[in-house]
Structure formats: structure tokens, C-alpha cells
């Protein structure tokens, strides 16, 4: 089973993502803050990581920067969700931090699941 770390501080969206991803066959570790997501990402390896950009204390980009520098998820496919598409240099983030894809809120949960499934590392499928 594909193990995914999800960080989302919105209660409603976190619950929706948890339900949709589990229904699609993912094993989900849900965290509500950037700090909690970073701690989880430093403690164990995940097949995929999905992060919200706007979280209290530590943004999604901040989590990605730390995960790409150290720990077991330096090459894990990471996806970023953001409503701040005009305030971020998305091309720089994708290139500099090897972000697999960026989802603009609001997004289709169905499209999200489909895109996540295309990024599952071969090892997670076997």
C-alpha cells in the first residue's frame, strides 16, 4: 500500500483529503501543521508527500526545503497545494526543490488522486 504524508491545516479539507485518499487505497498520515509534517517526514520514509503551502509557523515550502536537505525523504515525490499562486514563484519552487506538481486551490480531488497515482515510485507498487 502506498504510504502518503498529508499536511493540511484546514479541518474540512484535511478530512476530505483523508477520506478521498484512503478511498483510493492510500495509507494516510495526516498532520495539521508544517512542524508536525516536518517531524513526521524526518522520522520515516514516505512514498509520496502532499503539503499545503499556508500553514501556521512553517509553510509547505519550508517543510520541503528541510526535507530535501536531510532525512529519509530527500528524493520522495512531493506535491504542494496553494491558494497563493500569484504570490509564489512556482517555477522556482518546482525546479529548486524538485516539487513534482503544484495544485491550485480549489482543485478536483479526483484529479489530485489521479496525479498522485502517476507519481507513485515503482517500489511502492510492488
* pTM score of the predicted model: 0.92
In percent, how much of the chain has pLDDT > 90? 77
Q: Cell numbers of 98, please?
A: 524538485
Per-residue pLDDT band for 125 (boundaries 50, 70, 90) equals low
Q: What is the DSSP string of 9-33?
A: --HHHHHHHHHHHHHTT-EEEEESS
CB atoms inside a 10 Å sphere around CB 4: 25
Q: Has residue 94 got a pLDDT over 90?
A: no
Summarize pLDDT for 102-124 with one digit per residue, the tens: 998 889 999 999 999 999 876 55
Domains along the chain with CATH numbers: 3-119 (3.40.50.2300)
Per-residue pLDDT band for 89 (boundaries 50, 70, 90) equals confident
Q: Has residue 126 got a pLDDT over 80?
A: no
CB atoms inside a 10 Å sphere around CB 55: 22
Amino acid at each position: 500500500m502506498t504510504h502518503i504524508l498529508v499536511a493540511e491545516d484546514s479541518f474540512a479539507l484535511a478530512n476530505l483529503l483523508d477520506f478521498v485518499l484512503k478511498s483510493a487505497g492510500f495509507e494516510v498520515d495526516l498532520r495539521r501543521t508544517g512542524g508536525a509534517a516536518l517531524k513526521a517526514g524526518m522520522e520515516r520514509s514516505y512514498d509520496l508527500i502532499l503539503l499545503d503551502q499556508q500553514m501556521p509557523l512553517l509553510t509547505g515550502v519550508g517543510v520541503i526545503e528541510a526535507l530535501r536537505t536531510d532525512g529519509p525523504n530527500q528524493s520522495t515525490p512531493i506535491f504542494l497545494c496553494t491558494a497563493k499562486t500569484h504570490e509564489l514563484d512556482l517555477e522556482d519552487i518546482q525546479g529548486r526543490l524538485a516539487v513534482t506538481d503544484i495544485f491550485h486551490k480549489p482543485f478536483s480531488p479526483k484529479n489530485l488522486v489521479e496525479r498522485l497515482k502517476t507519481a507513485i515510485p515503482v517500489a511502492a507498487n510492488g
